[in-house]
Chains A and B, each alone.
Chain A
């Protein structure tokens, strides 16, 4: 009873915040509502008994992805007047795209049916004596190992792509090399001279960088 009530409440919050993500005028508020939507989705997972998924969702999406979103949005200088400028011109095309998308959604909703026996599979309870993490792990690392590895490789490719796209080589930038700094000895940089009174001292030729290191 209480669980159903909480479920209904959290679902309401999820839907409301999802709508607000689209309708909010301030982009930062939109991202914050997106985060609220993630958190409520994770609570729904918790209520469904999928605690591992719930916390992974919170850690990955809320803790990492959404932070970067927020970062970018806060840095953007959004000019609303410029954004609204082309509204009249693009409205018909936008409306057309919207109609097509809604039509497709409608078609899917009308002809949707589930495979026979799917309902029974969904209701299959967790086997006693295992936890979420163990059950997921034993599936992922046995039956679905190739797919799991493949998704890892795709992520790796995406990461390399992001680095290639954003990397700028700056040959003239000054870099600190910790190894070289630690290798520096007083003898390399300091030379004590005992000056004769009235005669001065000959300044020894400065050692070049290569000699000292």
Chain B
């Protein structure tokens, strides 16, 4: 095993990997090393959700295809691949095809900056958190373009609902992120995790942690904020008209976004790759994955437990509850840090 590792160590420190071409190859390898586990994770999240919801509702969940239903995601993917792609009459064809690609692509692109271990992010950039925020605010376009390009009333209504909802919840999410930044003194995600070595931010910023997670539910259009889909009123919302692979891309995009929001929560509040109780013999990436899976479990738990919000309640919660609390908490945190001289000086 150690000889194996030593071989790779000498391989990747060879002079070839510091030439321009070598750097590109190395970056591609890094991307693949993140992307493949991520895509498998997305596929198995669908299985995990059905299993957990089955357990909560006293059912078995998928258990026929493969042992414990483990091959179910692949069976679903194959089914989607072989279905016919239907484009509705009067649809804007280019935008109709572009929208699901945009949704899925953005959900994947955001992972470029998330550090899975100390310094393991593909791009360790100084403004990492801004990059994440920018990418997640672009996510609206996939939905709103899909709703408009479908040339369908239900799709358009769903898209409008979802766009208004995402824009509203981004505001309080932004204030939560700013509060974390004030405590860290850096926009770099690696620094944000390292600043939590002694105390996870979930403890001093507990209310904001909750607000961030709930805003994440709204941001990903998950239950209890899945009004954009609203089966009972607007059929399936913005993706009514989608079928086959373009539908699958939306579906996978939603799950990829869930993993992304869980990853953001882990990095910002749950100490990223840092071990719990000093159990440092377990490697960092495993801790990261464990925390992400915990957040995902809560996502699913919420979906299986809570009924859907009414639209005015959703807006009232975002603007009249979360926004004032997060703004006030920011002022209080900044004041406390200033008074005790705890402000980080970059």
Which residues of A pack against B, CB within 8 Å? 28, 32, 35, 51-52, 55-56, 58-59, 62-64, 67-68, 70-71, 74, 131-134, 176
Count B-side interface residues using an 8 Å CB cutoff: 26
B133 within 8 A of A: yes
Asked if A133 contacts B148 (CB within 8 A), the reply is no
Task: List A contacts of B346 (CB < 8 A).
Answer: 131, 134
B127's contact among A32, A55, A70, by CB below 8 Å, is which?
A55
B130's contact among A35, A56, A134, by CB below 8 Å, is which?
A56
Nearest to A138 among chain B residues (CB) is B346
Nearest to A51 among chain B residues (CB) is B127
The answer to whether residues A67 and B163 also contact, given A35-B141, A52-B130, A131-B126 and a CB cut-off of 8 A, is: yes
Which residues 153-192 of B sit at the A interface, judged by CB distance below 8 A?
156, 160, 163-164, 167, 170, 187
B140 within 8 A of A: yes
Asked if B140 contacts A63 (CB within 8 A), the reply is yes
Asked if B134 contacts A67 (CB within 8 A), the reply is no
Asked if A132 contacts B127 (CB within 8 A), the reply is yes
Having A68-B167, A74-B144, A134-B346, one finds 20 other A-B pairs with CB under 8 Å, namely A32-B95, A32-B145, A35-B141, A51-B127, A52-B187, A58-B134, A58-B137, A58-B138, A63-B134, A63-B137, A63-B138, A63-B170, A64-B137, A67-B141, A71-B160, A71-B163, A132-B126, A132-B127, A133-B187, A176-B312
Query: Looking at chain A's contact residues, is the secondary structure mostly helix, strand, loop, or mixed?
Result: helix
Query: Looking at chain B's contact residues, is the secondary structure mostly helix, strand, loop, or mixed?
Result: helix
B17 within 8 A of A: no
Complex Cα spacing A131 to B145, Å: 36
Complex Cα spacing A67 to B137, Å: 10
Nearest to B20 among chain A residues (CB) is A2
B125 within 8 A of A: yes
Residue contacts A-B, CB under 8 angstroms, 29 given: A28-B92, A32-B145, A35-B141, A51-B126, A52-B130, A52-B187, A55-B127, A55-B130, A55-B134, A58-B134, A59-B137, A62-B137, A63-B133, A63-B134, A63-B137, A63-B138, A64-B170, A67-B163, A71-B163, A71-B164, A74-B148, A74-B156, A131-B126, A131-B127, A132-B126, A132-B127, A133-B126, A133-B127, A176-B312
A59's contact among B130, B312, B313, by CB below 8 Å, is which?
B130
Task: List A contacts of B148 (CB < 8 A).
Answer: 28, 74
How many whole Å from A71's CB to the nearest CB in chain B? 6
Complex Cα spacing A170 to B164, Å: 22
How many whole Å from A55's CB to the nearest CB in chain B? 4
How many whole Å from B123's CB to the nearest CB in chain A? 11
Residue of A55, A68, A131, A176 contacting most chain B CB atoms (<10 Å): A55
Task: List B contacts of A74 (CB < 8 A).
Answer: 144, 148, 156, 160
Task: List B contacts of A62 (CB < 8 A).
Answer: 134, 137-138
B131 within 8 A of A: yes
How many whole Å from B61's CB to the nearest CB in chain A? 36
Residue of A52, A56, A68, A131 contacting most chain B CB atoms (<10 Å): A131
Question: Interface code B107-139, partner A: CB below 8 Å = 1, 0 otherwise?
Answer: 000000000000000000111001101100110
Complex Cα spacing A181 to B92, Å: 46
Task: List B contacts of A28 (CB < 8 A).
Answer: 92, 148
The 5 A-B residue pairs whose C-beta atoms are closest, nearest first, are A63-B137, A55-B130, A58-B134, A131-B126, A59-B134
Residue of B95, B133, B134, B160 contacting most chain A CB atoms (<10 Å): B134
